[in-house]
Amino acid sequence: MRRIREESRRYRPRSLTVPQMRALGYIRRNTGTSLAPLAEHLGVTPPTASALVERLVRLDLVRREPDPKERRRAVLTISPEGKALFAWTTARIRETLRNDLRSLPPGDLAEIRRSLSALSGALGVDRKRNR
């Protein structure tokens, strides 16, 4: 996990924080979400999430629009620019981690795969959902 955080910091755009990148990823996976679920996901208060989203809106990475069904709620979607930035950043991180893993002996890699698969199953992780 530490290596992933290090690579996230290394490849994220200098203008974005790690929490902003996490928010971008959450909004990408949960299009049409609102501030409350985002705040819960990030482990911050709704006002903190609102300020974070406002910065992403100003950078044209996220769109915040009124919910037509509930006036007090805002609907969040990722913009094309946000999608491209997120895809580029995650591709760089995955490439670095892939290269790190290639240095391991094949037997170790097979054991890691088995262990991660068992852990994912035990935790009920949906691999497709978390991409």
Q: How confident is the model over 68-123, as pLDDT tens digits?
A: 888 889 999 999 999 999 999 889 888 988 888 888 998 998 998 899 899 988 99
Do 18 and 11 touch, CB atoms closer than 8 A?
no
Q: 29-33, 43-47, 60-64, 118-122: lowest mean pLDDT where?
A: 118-122
Listed in sequence order, the residues at least 6 apart from 48 whose beta carbon sits closer than 8 Å to its beta carbon are 39, 42
Sorted by where each starts, the structural domains of the chain and their CATH numbers stand as: 2-104 (1.10.10.10)
129 pLDDT more than 60: no
34 pLDDT more than 60: yes
Does the predicted TM-score (pTM) go above 0.85? no
CA distance 58 to 22: 17
62 pLDDT more than 90: yes
Give me 64's structure tokens.
Answer: 């915040």
Do 63 and 83 touch, CB atoms closer than 8 A?
no
12 pLDDT more than 70: no
Residue 27 confidence (pLDDT): 98
66 pLDDT more than 80: yes
